[in-house]
Amino acid sequence: MTGFSATVLTLYPEMFPGPLGASLSGKGLEKGIWSLETVQIRDFATDRHRSVDDTPAGGGPGMVLRADVVGRALDSVAADDRPRLLMSPRGRPLDQGRVRELAQAPGVVILCGRFEGVDERVIEGRGLSEVSIGDYVLSGGEIAATVVLDAIVRLLPGVMGKVSSGSEESFETGLLEYPHYTRPQVWEGRTIPEVLTSGDHGAVARWRHERAEEITRERRPDLWRAWRDARGTDPARK
Contacts to ligand ADE by CB under 6 A: 87-89, 113, 132-134, 136-138, 141, 144
Cβ distance to ligand ADE smaller for residue 74 or 144: 144
Cβ distance to ligand ADE smaller for residue 132 or 216: 132
Rounded least distance, CB 132 to ligand ADE, Å? 4
In contact, 107 and 4? CB cutoff 8 Å: yes
Rounded least distance, CB 222 to ligand ADE, Å? 19
Give the span between the Cα atoms of 82 and 101, in whole angstroms: 12
Rounded least distance, CB 151 to ligand ADE, Å? 13
Cβ distance to ligand ADE smaller for residue 39 or 212: 39
Please give the single-letter amino acid code of residue 115: F
Neighbouring-strand partners of residue 117: 64
Rounded least distance, CB 88 to ligand ADE, Å? 5
**Which 8-state DSSP code applies to residue 76?**
T
Give the span between the Cα atoms of 143 and 139, in whole angstroms: 9
Q: Give residues with Cβ within 8 angstroms of 26, minimum separation 6.
A: 17, 20
CA distances from 162 to 72, 102, 151, 166 (A): 43, 22, 17, 9
CA distances from 42 to 51, 69, 89, 116, 208 (A): 7, 8, 23, 17, 52
Cβ distance to ligand ADE smaller for residue 129 or 198: 129
Rounded least distance, CB 10 to ligand ADE, Å? 12
232 alpha-carbon distance from chain centroid: 30
Rounded least distance, CB 217 to ligand ADE, Å? 27
Cβ distance to ligand ADE smaller for residue 61 or 189: 61
Cβ distance to ligand ADE smaller for residue 20 or 133: 133
